[in-house]
Amino acid sequence: MNATSTPACEAPKSIELVLITGMSGSGKSVALTALEDLGFYCVDNLPPELLQSFIALEQSHGARKVAIAIDVRSAASLPGLPERLAQLKNLSDQAIHLTTVFLDATTETLVRRFSETRRMHPLSLKETSDQRRALTDAIEHERELLSELHEQALVLDTSLLRPAQLRSQIKELLGANHATLTLVFESFAFKRGIPMDADFVFDVRMLPNPHYVAELKPLTGRDAPVARYLAAEPSVVRMEQQIGDFLRQWLPQMLLDHRSYVTVAIGCTGGQHRSVYLVERLGAAFAPDWATRLRHREIDGWPSALATQAPAAGG
């Protein structure tokens, strides 16, 4: 080989790959736009059978950040996609960091969105005839087709998110350097439904409620008077300790199972006092050892800053 020859074998370039999938109408185009803002080269509706060859091509061109949207529009190829993703994860010599994000929403939300935009659902035509499938039937059929991907992905529930909030959430989750496992603590109100992206759900409605204390009612669990009130209640202290003990027991096992995100949802009646307080406390407790993010669904609508210290009056 002379001095100007190119080596026959060259190590593949490291690449950060984000796969965006999920329900039609859940916000995949919004997510792709957010990833473009973060410097990702984005491709919409890539056929799954082209995934590996496309990644190899991008690596040869020196690409570092690629985002691909694959959804039910490629229905015929979807059954083989989980296996293809598993093959990518196992090819460690290719230095591929893969994150799969599944955007979901309630059926009621999806029906409303399709009705407002007057768009046709991709599965609204039955495969064997030109008879139009009812919208709700098409959505449920889509859930069945995507169920295996849903189980393997980071799930984001967009039911209550505006587009700007979804963009912020995508940028916060994927804009920073990836840790081995990111722990998301989320407070919510049971009266508005359980978050669809939750891996664990803890019900704290049996705890003393600051809502019934006149001077605490307009405040939240992030305010010092509420934090002092709840920290003085033995049942609240026990709940915080028991949730923490449970997570410390099982998070290492989930890490061994190659989980990238774990979402812990804590709910009370209104999502304002008890659940918010516990999310703040647990986020502060776990931040030294895990990449930790906080989300207060009812009072913020999207994730807050990384938890780095306990509430000043919470101890």
Cα-based distances in Å from 304 to 69, 147, 294: 26, 29, 5
Pairing between strand 96-104 and 261-268? unpaired
62 or 155, greater pLDDT: 155
> What is the Cα–Cα distance from 96 to 94, expressed in whole angstroms?
6
Cα-based distances in Å from 177 to 172, 260, 280, 286: 10, 12, 23, 18
Average pLDDT of the residues in 296-302:
80
Which CATH number do you get for residue 139? 3.40.50.300
Q: Which of 7-21, 104-118, 291-305 has the lowest mean pLDDT?
A: 7-21
Contact 275, 266 (CB under 8 A): yes
Residues 220-255: b if buried by 16+ CB within 10 A, e if exposed: bbbbeebbebbbeeeebeebbeebeeebeeebeebe
How many distinct structural domains can be found in the chain? 2
Token pair listed for 250: 């099982």
**Using one digit for the tens of pLDDT, what is the confidence trace for 282-294?**
999 999 888 899 9
Residue with tokens 């934090």: 227
Q: Is residue 4 part of a domain?
A: no
Q: Where are the alpha helices (DSSP H) in 43-162?
A: 51-60, 81-90, 107-117, 135-152
- pLDDT of 61 higher than 70: yes
Residue 225: its pLDDT value, please?
97
Domain-ending residue, one of 129, 160, 175: 175
Average pLDDT of the residues in 59-80:
81
Same domain, 115 and 186: no
> What is the Cα–Cα distance from 44 to 97, expressed in whole angstroms?
19
Q: Is residue 283 part of a domain?
A: yes
Confidence of residue 98 (pLDDT cuts 50, 70, 90): confident
Same domain, 73 and 137: yes
Same domain, 155 and 203: no
Domain-ending residue, one of 154, 175, 196: 175
Q: Is residue 42 part of a domain?
A: yes
> To which H or E segment does residue 230 belong?
helix 224-231
The residue range of the domain holding 238 is: 182-296
Contact 271, 188 (CB under 8 A): yes
Q: Is residue 308 part of a domain?
A: no
**Using one digit for the tens of pLDDT, what is the confidence trace for 39-55?**
899 999 888 888 888 88
> What is the Cα–Cα distance from 288 to 308, expressed in whole angstroms?
7
DSSP annotation of 303 reads: B
What residues have CB less than 8 Å from 23, skipping those under 6 apart?
Answer: 103, 104, 105, 110, 139, 142, 143, 146
Confidence of residue 19 (pLDDT cuts 50, 70, 90): very high
